[in-house]
Structure 1
Amino acid sequence: MRRILLLVHPTRPEAQETAALVSDELRRNGVTPIGEEDVDGDDVELAIVLGGDGTILRAAEVIRGRGTPLVGVNLGHVGFLAESEVEEAVDVARRAVARDYVVEERMTLDVTITFPDGTVQSNWAINEVSVEKDDRSRMLEVAVGIDGRGLSSFGCDGVVLATPTGSTAYAFSAGGPVVWPDVEAMLVVPNSAHALFARPLVVAPTSTMAVEILARSFSGAQVWCDGRRRIDVPPGSHIEVVRGAEPVRIARLHTAPFTDRLVRKFDLPVSGWRGGGS
C-alpha cells in the first residue's frame, strides 16, 4: 500500500479546502493520504505540504530520520521552500502518484551547546541557527570563532548561522548574501554588530562555526533553530554549528533555475536584460 503524508496549515480555510482536493486525487489513484499522527514507519514515500515555509519546516520535523522527501505547495507569502503554488496542488498530487519528480538534498545544520556547568544539548536546523539577545535593552556580547580559532568579539543583537537554503530567510534580513542552494557553504551573519569587522562570512561546508556568550554579557541569549525550537543559554555558554549529518530531501517538480525563483519571489525588475549580449 502506497502512503503519502499530507501535512496542512492548521488554521487557513484555503489549506483545508485544497487538502480535500489533493486527498481525493490521491485516493482516486490508489494512494492513501495520511496525517502526521499516522507516520509510524519508513514506508511514507512522500510528504505533500500545504502552507508556507513554517508548515514545511514543521513537516521536516515530522519526517526527520525517515529519508522521506517533501514537496511544498505555497499558501504563504514568499514561500521559498515551496515548489508549487496553490492552484497547482492537484497537479502536484498527480505527479506524486506518477512519481514524476526528482529529489535534491539540501544541507542542514547540527548545533551543539555546551553550558557553563559542562552539560551539553544538541539540535538541528534547515535554514538557520540564530543566537539572539534575551534582553532587548542591552547588547549581547559574543566571541565568534571558525575552525577552533577566535575570529572577533563584539556586542550585537545576535548572530545568524545559516545554510544556503536559509540565506533567503533570517540571514537575508540581517544583511547576509543570497547563496544559490546548490552551493556547498555555510554563512555567519552578525546582526546589528558594534564592530568594524562584523561583515557576513561565507565558510566551507567542512568548517565549524562557533559563538561564545561572553561572561561580561549582562544577560544570556536564546538559540533558535529555524525559529521553531528555542534553547536558553546563559553567559559562558559555547555554541558550535557544523554541517548536519542528515540532509533534508526536497522533491523538485520544475527544472527552472534558482534565478527564476529569486526574480519571481522578490518581484525583481529584469527589464533591459538582453540575455547574453554585452
Structure 2
Amino acid sequence: MTRRILVLAHTGRHDAMAAAQEACTQLHQSGLVPVMRGEELKDIQDEYGVLTAPTETLGVDVGLDQVELGMVLGGDGTILRAAELVRGSEVPLLGVNLGHVGFLAESERADLTETVRRVVDRDYTVEERMTIDVQVWRGDVLAAQTWALNEAAVEKASRERMIEVVMEVDGRPLSSFGCDGVVMATPTGSTAYAFSSGGPVVWPEVEALLMAPISAHALFAKPLVIAPTSVLAVEILTRTDAAGVLWCDGRRTVDLPPGARVEVRRAATPVRLARTQLTPFSERLVKKFSLPTQGWRGPTSHAGGTGQ
C-alpha cells in the first residue's frame, strides 16, 4: 500500500524551502511518497530543478483522504495555516519548528532526519486538540461563522480608541468595561495570545475555555477558566461609536461594528496533532520558555510507604 506524506512549508523562506526539499528527498529514499501543494511544489522545483525529489501534487494527483500525515515545516503560524487545510480530515499534523518558540511544533530543525525516520517507522502517536466555533451576530442576523484552534480575539479596530464591551458566560453578563480587547481561547491557545494577555497556562489535556481581557479599564477584569460546555460571548457596546475587529488564530478577520456580538463554543471537529515524544507538558514549558529550574531536587522516595 502506498504511503503518502504531505509536506507543508512556508516557501517564502529559504530555510523552509531547504527543509522541505530535504524532507521530500528522505521520504522518497525511504519508499514513501511526498506530497505538496501545487504552489509550494513549484517554488521547490524552481529552486532545486532536477534535484527535486519526485513529489505528487495535492488536489491533482492525490486527495487528503489518501494522505497518512502532514509534516509542517515552520513556526506556529505555518502550523495554524496547515490546520485550516486538514481540519475535518483524518490527517494529523507533525510540526517541525523553524521559528522561535514554536509551541505547536513537535521537533526542531536539527532533528529533521530523526523526525522523518519516526514517520517512516510510524513511531508517533496522535492526540486531538479542542477547537472552537465562532459566530458573529449583528442583531438577529448571523453575519459570519468561523473557527479557531488557538483563540478568537475581539480587538479594537482603531489604535487610538479602546472599545466598550460586556463579557458573558452562558447567557448571563459578567462585567462591562473599556479595553483593547478580549481573548477567548482553547487550552492549546493558552500559551499563545491569551498568555501574552495575562491568561493562565492550561495543560492541553484539560477540557476548558478561557477568557482573558486585554488592557481593561476595570477593577474586575480577570482571566477566567470556564467549563467546556459553556457558551462565551463578547458584545461591542453602543455607548460609543468605537468599532472592533475579530481575529481567529491571527489569520481570519471579521469587522465588528458597535452592537456586534461574538459567541464562542466548543467545536465538534478537533485538530489532530502527531507526537513523536511523550514529553510531559511541564517539561515542554521549561524548554520553550527557557524557565529557570536550578535548585530543584525532585520527588523523594520513602522506604516502606509514602509516610506522613
TM-score normalized by structure 2? Answer: 0.88
Cα separation, 1, equivalents of 2:154 and 2:37: 30
- Partner residue, 1:146: 169
The answer to whether 1:258 aligns with 2:281 is yes
Cα separation, 2, equivalents of 1:67 and 1:152: 40
Select between 35-44 and 268-277 the one with higher mean Cα deviation.
Answer: 35-44
The answer to whether 1:47 aligns with 2:43 is no
Is the 8 Å Cα contact of residues 64 and 91 (structure 2) preserved in structure 1? no
The residue identity in structure 2 corresponding to 1:4 is I
CA shift at 1:29, angstroms?
2.1
The residue identity in structure 2 corresponding to 1:13 is H
The answer to whether 1:274 aligns with 2:275 is no
CA shift at 1:11, angstroms?
2.1
- Partner residue, 1:29: 30
- Partner residue, 1:2: 3
Cα separation, 1, equivalents of 2:156 and 2:119: 43
CA shift at 1:173, angstroms?
0.5
Residue 224 (structure 1) aligned to one of 244, 247, 261: 247
Cα separation, 1, equivalents of 2:37 and 2:89: 13
Cα separation, 1, equivalents of 2:140 and 2:168: 21
Cα separation, 1, equivalents of 2:139 and 2:72: 40
Cα separation, 1, equivalents of 2:239 and 2:268: 34
Q: Secondary structure at the match of 1:167?
A: helix
The residue identity in structure 2 corresponding to 1:226 is D
Unaligned runs of 5+ in 2: 39-57, 302-308
The residue identity in structure 2 corresponding to 1:111 is V
* Alignment map for 1:81-120 (pairs within 5 Å): 81-116=104-139, 118-120=141-143
Q: Secondary structure at the match of 1:42?
A: helix
Select between 38-47 and 229-238 the one with higher mean Cα deviation.
Answer: 38-47
Q: Secondary structure at the match of 2:28?
A: helix
Residue 265 (structure 2) aligned to one of 223, 238, 242: 242
Query: How many aligned positions are there?
Result: 278
The residue identity in structure 2 corresponding to 1:221 is G
Distance of aligned partners of 1:20 and 1:198 in 2 relative to their CA distance in 1, 3 Å threshold: same
- Partner residue, 1:205: 228
- Which digits, 9 at most, give the CA deviation of each residue in 1:118-172, with x for residues without a partner? 2431100011000000011111001110011111111100000011111111101
TM-score normalized by structure 1? Answer: 0.97
Is the 8 Å Cα contact of residues 138 and 218 (structure 1) preserved in structure 2? no
Distance of aligned partners of 1:41 and 1:276 in 2 relative to their CA distance in 1, 3 Å threshold: closer
CA shift at 1:100, angstroms?
1.0
CA shift at 1:264, angstroms?
0.6
Cα separation, 1, equivalents of 2:151 and 2:240: 23
- Partner residue, 1:126: 149
Is the 8 Å Cα contact of residues 36 and 62 (structure 1) preserved in structure 2? no
Root-mean-square deviation (CA, aligned residues, Å) is 1.3
Cα separation, 1, equivalents of 2:164 and 2:242: 9
Is the 8 Å Cα contact of residues 133 and 140 (structure 1) preserved in structure 2? yes
Is the 8 Å Cα contact of residues 143 and 152 (structure 1) preserved in structure 2? yes
* Alignment map for 1:152-163 (pairs within 5 Å): 152-163=175-186
CA shift at 1:99, angstroms?
1.2
Cα separation, 2, equivalents of 1:233 and 1:107: 25
Unaligned runs of 5+ in 1: none
- Partner residue, 1:75: 98
The residue identity in structure 1 corresponding to 2:157 is D
The residue identity in structure 1 corresponding to 2:265 is V
Cα separation, 1, equivalents of 2:140 and 2:265: 22
CA shift at 1:97, angstroms?
1.6
After superposing on structure 2, the runs of 4+ consecutive aligned residues of structure 1 that deviate more than 2 Å are none
* Alignment map for 1:181-200 (pairs within 5 Å): 181-200=204-223
Is the 8 Å Cα contact of residues 22 and 89 (structure 1) preserved in structure 2? yes
Cα separation, 1, equivalents of 2:9 and 2:240: 41
Name which one, 1 or 2, has greater alpha-carbon Rg: 2
